[in-house]
């Protein structure tokens, strides 16, 4: 047997399988030649696609079929089974599709379909002449890609204060920081993609002013860029520690690739690290640095890590999980000064550390919006189409506060998937569409081998119910407010998490 075929599982789908073996909603992973293929029987047809999500290769065979789409169990990307298109981030690239033949109640998979090219470029009515995107992160990148995917053919410029092309920010506190993946996995796309798609990337060029009346954005150099539609996607910046000694070179925050690389450099010559803040980022950094064999102490004022977002039981679990991996917590305590390498604590004592990483929250970057007199409310206020108070100016990602139809509140979140999907929705609306942003918020976090998925939005709750057992890493927590499920957090209950997402999509406040 050829080497590749040895790894293949399931039936040879080119030989055909009885229709009766595949009930509606059923999935079957098999192979055709050297390719693994997922056969799906949706309500309106039978489809054969690649079983590997194009985000991080999540197993689509374990995902959820909804209409003629399949959702990935890991981070909830959604693919159209008819075309393979990644219709919802975090996946961007399509999955492969195969032809199906049905004869006498037997389904056989035939040849792989040619990957469809982008939609034809058109100059349709209402299409802008010039689109400018301010921000080369999750939302900015996803918007640029979606504009071109939808055939937008006119000028497209993406400004980024960052020196790097858009990259996978969540990886900066996970595998890349831990040293378990190579750098090649970090950029979202290579330079070639931007060239081929005629996306003008201006790296290291911050916008310093926005003039919505003249429809111009001003660069540091004084250059004024005209636009017809503009997306503001400037993200957030880490809150800095202001105690004495916090300005030393071994004290870091983590937002950009450059930040991450300087932490990695610091870690290479360090024996002990102090992480200040028991937030998602702080604790992911703690896990990654343990992966690099550093001794890690976490200092935070909280009673339990992440209790405010995940509740007390999950908080206790996360603490134990990190302690089992050797992290030492100093909770209900604060760093009050950094005397050289010594981190001095409010409750007395100090910890000597060669490396300090501060993860005490972020603030949305609102300067441009504020100076342009856009409507603000703890973020840039947008309507359901993600348009700000200035016509033609859209906002997406960490800066945007949008009317969430599910909670009935105006919310702003700091989630990768939300930022990308908002960028995608804003792109469609900049092209003259009128697609409301109605996605249920989703985020994930990863600590060692434990992924935590969170769907919905619960700033407060009356009750948390727990299915399964948190300590056994097999659980689903429902955060309920006024009798309705506002959010769900889960560990290794991916299908239930997807089902909860679908249920929340149908529930509007």
Ligand X SMILES: Cc1cc2nc3c(=O)[nH]c(=O)nc-3n(C[C@H](O)[C@H](O)[C@H](O)COP(=O)(O)OP(=O)(O)OC[C@H]3O[C@@H](n4cnc5c(N)ncnc54)[C@H](O)[C@@H]3O)c2cc1C
* Residue 58 binding partner per list ligand X, ligand FES, none, with a CB distance cut-off of 5 to 8 Å that depends on partner kind: ligand FES
For position 379 contacting ligand X by CB under 6 A, the verdict is: no
Q: Name the minimum Å distance from CB 204 to ligand X.
A: 9
Q: Name the minimum Å distance from CB 212 to ligand X.
A: 15
**Per rule CB under 6 A, count of chain residues that contact ligand X:** 35
Only one residue has tokens 């119910």, namely 465
Q: How many CB atoms lie within 10 A of CB 292?
A: 17
Cα torsion through 307, 310, 311, 315, rounded to 10:
-50
Binding to ligand FES (CB under 6 A) within 28-57 occurs at 53, 55-56
* Residue 331 binding partner per list ligand X, ligand FES, none, with a CB distance cut-off of 5 to 8 Å that depends on partner kind: none
For position 137 contacting ligand X by CB under 6 A, the verdict is: yes
Please give the order of strands across the beta sheet that includes 35-42. 17-18, 106-112, 97-103, 45-49, 35-42, 27-32
- Alpha-carbon Rg for the chain, nearest whole angstrom, is 24
31-51 b/e with 16+ CB inside 10 Å = b?
bbeebbbbbbbbeeebbbbbb
Q: Which residue lies nearer to ligand X by CB, 100 or 362?
A: 362
Q: Which residue lies nearer to ligand FES by CB, 91 or 374?
A: 91
Q: Considering only 100-108, 111-119, 233-241, 330-338, which stretch makes contact with ligand X by CB under 6 A? A: 233-241
Q: Name the minimum Å distance from CB 381 to ligand FES.
A: 30
**Per rule CB under 6 A, count of chain residues that contact ligand FES:** 10
* Residue 91 binding partner per list ligand FES, ligand X, none, with a CB distance cut-off of 5 to 8 Å that depends on partner kind: ligand FES
Interface pattern 281-310 for ligand X (x via CB under 6 A): x-----------------------------
Binding to ligand X (CB under 6 A) within 432-461 occurs at 443-445
The two structure tokens encoding residue 425:
């929705």
Q: Name the minimum Å distance from CB 79 to ligand X.
A: 19
> DSSP assignment of 165-177, as one string?
--B-GGGGGTHHH
132-159 b/e with 16+ CB inside 10 Å = b?
bbbbbbbbbbbbbbbbbbbebeebbbbb
Q: Name the minimum Å distance from CB 75 to ligand FES.
A: 3
Residue 463, classified by CB atoms within 10 Å of its CB into exposed (0-12), middle (13-18) or buried (19+), is exposed
Parallel, antiparallel, or unpaired for β 35-42 and 229-232?
A: unpaired
What does the binding site for ligand X look like in residue numbers (CB under 6 A)?
Answer: 134-140, 159-162, 169-170, 172-173, 206-207, 233-235, 254-255, 281, 365, 368, 397-398, 414-417, 419, 443-445
């Amino acid at each position: 047997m050829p080497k590749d075929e040895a790894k293949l599982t399931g039936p040879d789908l080119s030989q055909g399988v009885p229709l009766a073996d595949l009930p509606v909603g059923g999935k079957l992973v098999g192979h055709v030649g050297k390719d693994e293929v997922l056969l799906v029987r949706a309500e309106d047809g039978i489809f054969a696609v690649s079983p590997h999500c194009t985000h991080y290769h999540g197993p689509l065979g374990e995902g959820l079929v909804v209409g003629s789409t399949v959702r990935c169990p890991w981070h909830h990307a959604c693919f159209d089974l008819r075309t393979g298109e990644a219709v919802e981030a975090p996946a961007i690239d399509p999955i492969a599709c195969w032809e199906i033949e049905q004869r006498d109640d037997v389904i056989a998979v035939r040849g792989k379909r040619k990957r469809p090219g982008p939609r034809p470029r058109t100059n349709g009515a209402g299409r802008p002449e010039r689109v400018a995107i301010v921000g080369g992160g999750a939302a900015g990148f996803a918007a640029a890609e979606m504009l071109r995917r939808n055939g937008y053919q006119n000028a497209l410029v993406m400004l980024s204060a960052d020196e790097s092309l858009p990259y996978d920010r969540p990886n900066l506190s996970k595998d890349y920081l831990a040293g378990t993946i190579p750098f090649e996995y970090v950029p979202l796309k290579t330079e070639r993609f931007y060239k081929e798609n005629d996306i003008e990337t201006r790296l290291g060029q911050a916008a310093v002013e926005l003039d919505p009346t003249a429809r111009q954005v001003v660069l540091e150099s004084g250059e004024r860029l005209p636009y017809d539609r503009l997306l503001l996607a400037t993200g957030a910046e880490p809150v800095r520690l202001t105690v004495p000694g916090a300005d030393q070179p071994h004290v870091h925050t983590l937002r950009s690739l450059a930040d991450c690389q300087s932490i990695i450099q610091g870690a290479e010559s360090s024996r002990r690290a102090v992480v200040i803040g028991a937030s998602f980022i702080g604790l992911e950094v703690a896990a990654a640095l343990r992966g690099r064999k550093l001794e890690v102490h976490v200092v935070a004022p909280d009673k339990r890590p992440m209790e405010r977002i995940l509740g007390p039981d999950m908080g206790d679990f996360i603490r134990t999980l990190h302690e089992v991996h050797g992290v030492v917590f100093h909770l209900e305590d604060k760093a009050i000064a950094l005397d050289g390498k010594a981190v001095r604590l409010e409750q007395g004592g100090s910890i000597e550390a060669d490396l300090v990483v501060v993860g005490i929250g972020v603030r949305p970057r609102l300067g441009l919006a504020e100076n342009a007199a856009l409507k603000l409310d703890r973020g840039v206020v947008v309507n359901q189409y993600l348009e700000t108070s200035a016509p033609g100016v859209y906002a997406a990602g960490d800066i945007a506060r949008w009317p969430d139809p599910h909670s009935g509140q105006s919310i702003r979140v700091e989630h990768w998937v939300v930022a990308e999907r908002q960028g995608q929705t804003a792109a469609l609306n900049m092209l003259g569409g009128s697609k409301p942003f109605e996605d249920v918020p989703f985020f994930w976090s990863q600590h060692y081998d434990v992924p935590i998925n969170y769907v919905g939005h619960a700033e407060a709750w009356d009750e948390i119910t727990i299915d399964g057992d948190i300590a056994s890493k097999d659980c689903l927590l429902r955060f309920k407010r006024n009798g309705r499920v506002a959010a769900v957090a889960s560990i290794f209950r991916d299908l239930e998490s997807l089902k909860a997402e679908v249920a929340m999509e149908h529930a509007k406040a």
